[in-house]
Chains A and B, each alone.
Chain A
């Protein structure tokens, strides 16, 4: 929803705070996800993610969420899908060159990131999207990939849960 999306980048600090609380919980529950099976939890996870982030950020489920690096403004709402924006076509009123009635998602990213503690992550070069993972849960991927090597461990080895 466009109005909620604008609200989210306006209150980026709040969302950063909420995410910082939420992230360790999902991580701490990693053994649980692993026991149930990542494939089995994928569907409910992506459903919840699609619904909540869709409502708040107009999330497009790219599968590689970088909201916390982009001032809580989803770059996939850019008509050019620029992951390292903004382009040079931003209008003088801060709106998109292609959709004149929409504020440039990167203008929002800039204002959002200025409030955030980790706002400088905006300067990180973002790799291109992996189109194979579109529609899948970025949260779950984050949990799976955080403790390096634990992905494989989840299936083959009963080793440590890794750090969360």
Chain B
């Protein structure tokens, strides 16, 4: 029996991939992606269980690559499982654990398997994970990784210049943190990643909407929102204590006092955390240039559906609100 090769699937004109994420973003409607918390297990059911709760509301599910430098089931394996089940995952590739030879091979393998979205990350340092004694690789960084995969896709060449017979049709993403210093540099940094090949970005958790607004203002002034789809990172905080812990222990996550005060003052902090999340989504979607949200609900995945539904971003009215087809974005 002939197995249809995913590579030969039609890539719509003006698209880089045949995937649902790119189609959804280019359609102009509000898009929701979510991060799957990878199990420490060799049982595929554990992956499906976690994907199922997210899939009700998500266009795409991110398969993290040993995030926080902790060992889990690999992003490649999660993608293989999710594709088999009909999902459109985002393969996260970090530069921490593999060199350019391994990564480029993985890109071809992933595309052959049907992966249509790749998120290029530098990765967390090994020191932050559960194997601090491991050898950090960092042969490439997020920007040079973007450029390498774009070269593979558009020029059909490896970094060595050697020809690829069938290039990988992938939609390329990057991470952005509008909330970490140097704040003035962040929009320029986004521009650099776009120049290197980023077509969509997923940001770090947003808890400070005014800061995001001023970032987006610069992004719009530079015309970057015309060249790249921006998905804002969102997630519910379980309690003020958790929020405080994240603020002091997870570098790069900025949580203003006002959020923690609001949690502290609530009777049911967990519920309030979800309400804050809903409010943030509603504020974020109003910002011009924001194409969607990226939900990171660590250990609260079962509430993602509820949060998204309550926010109204997937209601009929909001889906038809932005009819403009933004096919121009490359």
Question: Chain A: residues with CB nearer than 8 A to chain B?
Answer: 79-92, 94, 97-98, 104, 106-107, 110-111, 122-123, 125-128, 131
Contact = CB atoms under 8 A, between A and B. Distances in A.
B182 interface: yes
A92 B100 contact: no
Interface in B174-195: 175-177, 180-182, 184-185, 188-189, 191-192, 195
A86 B181 CA distance: 9
Nearest to B139: A128
Interface centre among B140, B175, B191 (most CB of A within 10 A): B140
Interface in B181-221: 181-182, 184-185, 188-189, 191-192, 195-196, 204
18 contacts: A81-B141, A82-B122, A83-B141, A83-B144, A86-B185, A86-B189, A89-B177, A89-B180, A90-B177, A90-B252, A97-B252, A98-B125, A106-B182, A107-B182, A110-B182, A123-B192, A125-B192, A131-B139
A106 B142 CA distance: 15
Contact of B100 (A81, A111, A126, A128): A128
Interface string B112-147: 000000000011110110000000101111111001
A52 B2 CA distance: 64
Contacts of B124: 89, 97
A85 B177 CA distance: 12
B147 A125 contact: yes
Interface centre among B128, B142, B175, B191 (most CB of A within 10 A): B142
Contacts of B153: none
B254 interface: yes
B141 A128 contact: yes
B189 A128 contact: no
Contact of A123 (B177, B182, B188): B188
In order of increasing CB-CB distance, the 10 nearest A-B pairs are A88-B177, A97-B251, A84-B143, A89-B251, A98-B125, A89-B252, A110-B182, A82-B141, A90-B180, A81-B138
Interface centre among A79, A85, A88, A107 (most CB of B within 10 A): A88
Given A84-B142, A123-B192, A79 B252 contact: no
A97 B69 CA distance: 13
A85 to B, nearest CB: 7
Contacts of A127: 144, 147
Contacts of B139: 128, 131
B181 A88 contact: no
A116 to B, nearest CB: 14
B122 A80 contact: yes
Contacts of B96: 80
A128 B136 contact: no
Given A88-B176, A90-B180, A98-B128, A125 B144 contact: yes
A90 B140 contact: no
A128 B140 contact: yes
Given A97-B251, A110-B182, A125 B125 contact: no
A125 B204 CA distance: 22
Contacts of B185: 86, 110
A79 B184 CA distance: 23
Contacts of B192: 84, 123, 125
A119 to B, nearest CB: 11
A125 B196 contact: yes
Interface centre among B139, B141, B143, B195 (most CB of A within 10 A): B141
A85 B185 CA distance: 10
Contacts of B252: 87-91, 97
Contact of A125 (B136, B195, B251): B195
Contacts of A122: 188
A80 B125 CA distance: 6
A111 B183 CA distance: 12
Contact of B141 (A85, A88, A131): A85
Given A83-B141, A87-B252, A110-B184, 16 more contacts: A79-B125, A79-B127, A80-B96, A82-B142, A83-B143, A84-B142, A86-B182, A89-B180, A92-B181, A94-B181, A98-B128, A104-B181, A125-B143, A126-B144, A127-B147, A128-B140
